[in-house]
Amino acid sequence: MNKLLLVIKSRLPDVKLIALLRDPVSRVYSDYLFNQRNNKHEGEKSLLKAIEADQKQGDPEQYFEKGLYYYYLKKYFDIFDRQNIKLFLFEDFTSDPLKVVKDIFTFLNVDSSFVPQRCFFRNPKK
């Protein structure tokens, strides 16, 4: 992956990068619900049992490692300039999507007065 990031940096030295991060606990639970809907853990009703099953199958990243954002983001911060990386929280996006979109526009040096027609979050499962 670092080779790819170095290629991107060499070809687009001023590229702007955006990451939308979710609260790690909420991410784990959401992943669990997704797996339940898709029958990944047949018969496993509890999150704890699903985690144990994944660890026994040699898949510890399923629930925990994906939420260790520092591990993934460090590679980007090591290669790209800090001022060209912007992190946003998923919870901020769901509570005030227009504000986050405007912050993204500002970060990208795009006209932040533009208001997208569809700037909302809706969970069809709720």
Q: For residue 48, what pLDDT is reported? A: 82
3-state secondary structure of 69: helix
Domain membership of residue 120 (yes or no) is: no
Residues 97-123 pLDDT 10s: 889 999 999 999 999 888 777 665 555
Residues 38-62 pLDDT 10s: 877 676 678 888 878 777 777 666 6
Domain membership of residue 126 (yes or no) is: no
CATH code of the domain in which 9 resides: 3.40.50.300
Domain count, the chain: 1
Residue 86 pLDDT > 80: yes
CB 85 within 8 A of CB 19: yes
Domain membership of residue 90 (yes or no) is: yes
Domain membership of residue 115 (yes or no) is: no
The domain containing residue 33 runs over which residues?
2-107
